[in-house]
Structure 1
C-alpha cells in the first residue's frame, strides 16, 4: 500500500505541475501585454507652431505623421504656462497650487514626487529612463533652484540622461549625453540617439518600459541645429493676424505691465529681427521633429513599435509677437496652448487620424499614462484619463479647466477658466491706476482673441456663466491646495470679492518696482566687487 500511495502521490504531483503550467500559459494568453510608454516634451512650443495644427510655414513631417497615425487634441492647455510648474504638474497630475512648485515659490516635496507617474510605473515593474531638461527641484528645502544634481531625482530612474538647470543645446556640455557629441553635436538629435540605446537596454531587461525625454528646444536662446539650415533657407514668414501692440488695445493693463509685453524686443525691433527669431524658433522645432523620427525608427528596428504608446506635447506655448507679447506665462492662446498628440498602435484604424476639440490639459498626462498600463489613478491627481475620450468623445464629461499664473510681477498673476468655446480671465491686481479687470473671449469663434466680450450686453448671460465656473475653480483651489510655501495668499488675491486693501499685504511689488529693485541689487553687487 505504501508503494501504491507513493506512486499515486508522484502521479498527482506530475498532473498538478502540468495543470499549473497550462493555466499559466492560458493566463499569459488572456492577460494583455503591458504597453511601453514614450513621453516626449518640447519646451515652449505653441500648438500653432506645428504643421498638423494648420501652420504651413513650420516643417514638422514626423509630428504630422504621428497625428495621422494617432489622435490630435486641438484644445490642449498647460494649466500653468511656465516650465517649472508645468513639468511638476505633468509628472504628478496636480495643479500648481497642489504641487507647490514654481519659480519664486519652492521645490516639489519628495513625498509628492513619489506619486509621480515615473515612480509609480517603476514600482509597478517598469524599466524607466529620463533624458533632457528635468526643469524642477525635488527637495525638502525652500529653494526652488533646480541647477544642481543634488535636487534631481536621479536614483528614481533606471537610466538617467537628464541635466540640471536649462541644460545646453551643445551636446558636449551635457555630461549625461556627451558620448553622442561627435556624431550629434546638437542635443535634439543626441536625445534621439540616447533613446535608441535606452530602448535597446529596456528590451534586454525583459520589462515594459517608460521613457521620458524633455528637449531644451525650442527654448531661448534660439540656437538651432546647423544640420537643418537648408530647411528654412531663404524663407520669409508671415506675421500672425494678432501680431503687435495694435492688436492689444482691448486687453487689460495688467497683462501689458510685465516683461512679456515690455521685453523680448527682438520680436518687434525690425523686420529682420522678427524673421531671424521666428526662423530660429521654427528650426529648433524641426530638430525635435527629426528626433521624433529617429525614435519611431528605433522602435521599429528593435521590434517594439507595435506595443509602444507615444505621447508628444510641450510644457507651455510661446507668444512669438502675438498682441506684442513674447515668452509665455499669460493665459492667452499662444502662451498657454501646446500640441498634444497621442499614438497608440493598438487603436482601431477608424479611431486614428482623428482631431478632438475637447479641452485637455497637462494635468491629464499622468492619469492617462497610468491608465494605459492598468494602474488606478491616485485620488490626489486633478487630471482625467484621456483614453475613453479617444474611444468615444461623448463619454468625456469634463467641460472646463483652470489656468493659473502665480509667478512674476503682481499685475500679471491671474486665475482663468477655459471651456471649449469660452475663456474668462480675472486679473486680480489693483492699485491707484488699475482696478481688477475681467476679460471674456469667444475662443470658439475668435481664436486670435481680438474681441473682448466682457462689456457687451449680448454676452451678459455668458459672462455670468463663466463667473460661476470661475468661482468653482477658485473654491477647488482654496479647499484642495495652498498648504505649502507661500500659496495661501491666493485665497485672497484670486477672490473676486476681495478689495484692494485686503489684497495689499500679499503683494510684493509691481513690474517697475521689481525692475528698480533688481537695478539696485546689481549696482550694490558691482560696488562691492
Structure 2
C-alpha cells in the first residue's frame, strides 16, 4: 500500500516536471524567435526621391497651398528632419552624394552635372546586393543625367515598363507604383529589398496653367520675397504645386502596396528631394531653398511617432545609414556618417551635439558660362551652414553665377518666372528681382538664418560681422582641406577640365547640340 502511494506521488511529480520543462522550452523558443526578429532580421529599405521639390512645398514643413496628405501622414507617424541638406543643389551631383556616401568635391568628374561617373566609386544598392543579399531596383529617375559604365544605373536594375496617362501634360507617363509592385512580385521569397522610388516630378516642363483645371486659386500661392508678386509668378507656382501633389499621390499608392503585401512593419522609408524647385535663385544655387531639402523617416516599431530632429544631416550620410540598417559596416569610401542612431533615438530636437553644421558646394552645373579662361566653365562655390548663419564663398565672382546672359542663363530652367525676370530692364522698379536671381555676386556672402531665412540681406561687408565671417570661413576651409577638396589644394581647375556629356553649347551661335556618340566613353 505504501509502495503504491509512493509510486503515484512519483508519477505525479514526473508529470509536473515534464510540463514545467515543456513550458520553459516553449517560452525560451518564443523569446529566441522574438530576439532574432528584432536584432537580426534585415529591414527593407524604400527611398522616395522627388526631382526638384523644395522642402517648404510639403505640409509637414508648413505648406498651406500644396496638399501632401500621404507624406504628411508618414511624418506624423515617423520623424521629420528640420536640417537636412543635399551637399550640391543639382540633380546629378546631389544623387551621386546619395549613392556613394561621399561629399560632392570628393567625387572627381561626378562633382559636376552631366558627367561621366568614375568607375572607382561604389554605390550602396550594389553593395547591399553583393554583401547583404538585398534584392535591389529603381523606378523613374535614378542617378543622372550623365554617363556611367555598367549594366545598371547606379540606383540599381530598372523597373520602368508600366505606364499610365497622367493628369497633366508635363507629368511623366511612368506608372511608378505599378513598377514598384512589379519589382516586389519579382523579389525572391525571404530576401529583403532596397528600392529607389525616383519620380520625375516636379521637374519642368509644366503644362501651362494646369492649375486652372483644379480648384486652386491664384490667391493660394505663397510667393517668396525674392520674386515679384504677380499673376505670372503665382500661376507658375500653382503649376508646380500640381506636380508636387502628384509625387505625394505616388507615395500614397506605394505605401498602400506595402500594406497589402504585409511589408510595412519591417521597412525603413525615407522621403526626400534632390534639391529645391526649378525656379530662379533656387535650383542649382547656393541659397537656402536650393539646398535645404525635406527628409522624413518612417519605420514602424523603430522610429517613435511624431519626432522632430534638429541635427544637421547631409546627403553623404544616407548611404552609410542604409549600410548599417542592413547590418553592414559602411564602405571604406564613405565619408558621410550614418544617422541610424538618430532614427532609433526616442528624443526630439538636437540629439547629437556634434551635428551642428553642414558643408555645401558646387562646381559646373549646366553649360553656357564662358570668359577669357575658356568655355564650359564652372561657377565654384563652397559654403557652411549652421543653426544661425550661412556663409558662402563665391570662388570665381567674376563669372556669371547662372551662366552668361548672351547664352540664356542656362543654369536656370526655362519658365514663365524666368522669362518675366530676364525681361526686366535697369530702369524698371522691379529690376532688383532680376539682380537677385541672375546678376554677378560678390565674393563673400553671410546671412543670419534666424532673421533672414530667404537670404535677402548680405552681412558679409558689415564690420560687426567680420569675426563671424572669418570664423566660419576658417572652419569651412579646414574641413574641406581634410576632405581633400581640390579647390582648397590649388587644383580647382580640374573641375573645368572634366568633359560634359549633355547638350553642348555652340558658343558662336548660342545653340545647344547633343554630344556625338564618338566623343562619349563606352558604357
TM-score normalized by structure 2?
0.72
2:276 corresponds to 1:317: yes
2:71 corresponds to 1:63: yes
SS in 2 for 1:67: helix
* CA distance in structure 2 between the partners assigned to 1:373 and 1:288 by the alignment: 27
- 1:153 match: 152
- 2:192 match: 208
- 2:258 match: 299
Q: Relative to structure 2, which stretch is displaced further, 395-404 or 415-424?
A: 395-404
Q: Conserved in 2, the CA contact under 8 Å of 1:225 and 1:287?
A: no
**Residue 339 of structure 1: how far off its partner (Å):** 0.7
SS in 2 for 1:90: helix
* CA distance in structure 2 between the partners assigned to 1:241 and 1:284 by the alignment: 19
* CA distance in structure 2 between the partners assigned to 1:397 and 1:438 by the alignment: 26
2:461 corresponds to 1:455: yes
**Residue 442 of structure 1: how far off its partner (Å):** 1.6
2:177 corresponds to 1:192: yes
CA separation of 1:524 and 1:276: change in aligned 2, threshold 3 A: closer
**Residue 356 of structure 1: how far off its partner (Å):** 1.7
* CA distance in structure 2 between the partners assigned to 1:412 and 1:40 by the alignment: 29
2:448 corresponds to 1:442: yes
Runs (5+) with no aligned partner, structure 1: 1-21, 138-143, 162-175, 245-267, 482-487, 495-502, 509-514
Note the aligned Cα RMSD (angstroms). 3.6
* CA distance in structure 1 between the partners assigned to 2:98 and 2:340 by the alignment: 17
**Residue 332 of structure 1: how far off its partner (Å):** 0.3
* CA distance in structure 2 between the partners assigned to 1:290 and 1:86 by the alignment: 24
2:325 corresponds to 1:372: yes
- 1:283 match: 242
More helix by share: 1
SS in 1 for 2:308: strand
SS in 2 for 1:440: strand
- 2:285 match: 330
CA separation of 1:182 and 1:243: change in aligned 2, threshold 3 A: closer
SS in 1 for 2:115: coil
SS in 2 for 1:446: coil
**Residue 492 of structure 1: how far off its partner (Å):** 3.1
* CA distance in structure 2 between the partners assigned to 1:398 and 1:97 by the alignment: 20
- 2:470 match: 464
Of 326, 329, 340, the residue aligned with 1:387 is 340
- 2:92 match: 84
Q: Conserved in 1, the CA contact under 8 Å of 2:49 and 2:274?
A: yes
**Residue 192 of structure 1: how far off its partner (Å):** 1.4
**Residue 99 of structure 1: how far off its partner (Å):** 2.0
**Residue 357 of structure 1: how far off its partner (Å):** 2.1
Offset from partner CA, 1:321-346 (integer Å, 9 cap, x none): xxxx3551111011111111011112
* CA distance in structure 2 between the partners assigned to 1:365 and 1:524 by the alignment: 35
CA separation of 1:182 and 1:430: change in aligned 2, threshold 3 A: closer
* CA distance in structure 1 between the partners assigned to 2:239 and 2:61 by the alignment: 19
**Residue 106 of structure 1: how far off its partner (Å):** 3.2
* CA distance in structure 2 between the partners assigned to 1:235 and 1:435 by the alignment: 32
Aligned residues: 424
Runs (5+) with no aligned partner, structure 2: 1-26, 370-376, 401-439, 498-503, 515-523
CA separation of 1:524 and 1:153: change in aligned 2, threshold 3 A: closer
Greater Rg by CA = 2
**Residue 285 of structure 1: how far off its partner (Å):** 0.6
**Residue 212 of structure 1: how far off its partner (Å):** 0.8
* CA distance in structure 2 between the partners assigned to 1:156 and 1:423 by the alignment: 31
Q: Conserved in 2, the CA contact under 8 Å of 1:319 and 1:334?
A: no
**Residue 378 of structure 1: how far off its partner (Å):** 2.0
TM-score normalized by structure 1?
0.71
- 2:48 match: 40
CA separation of 1:104 and 1:36: change in aligned 2, threshold 3 A: closer
**Residue 287 of structure 1: how far off its partner (Å):** 0.5
2:97 corresponds to 1:106: no
2:164 corresponds to 1:218: no
2:164 corresponds to 1:181: yes
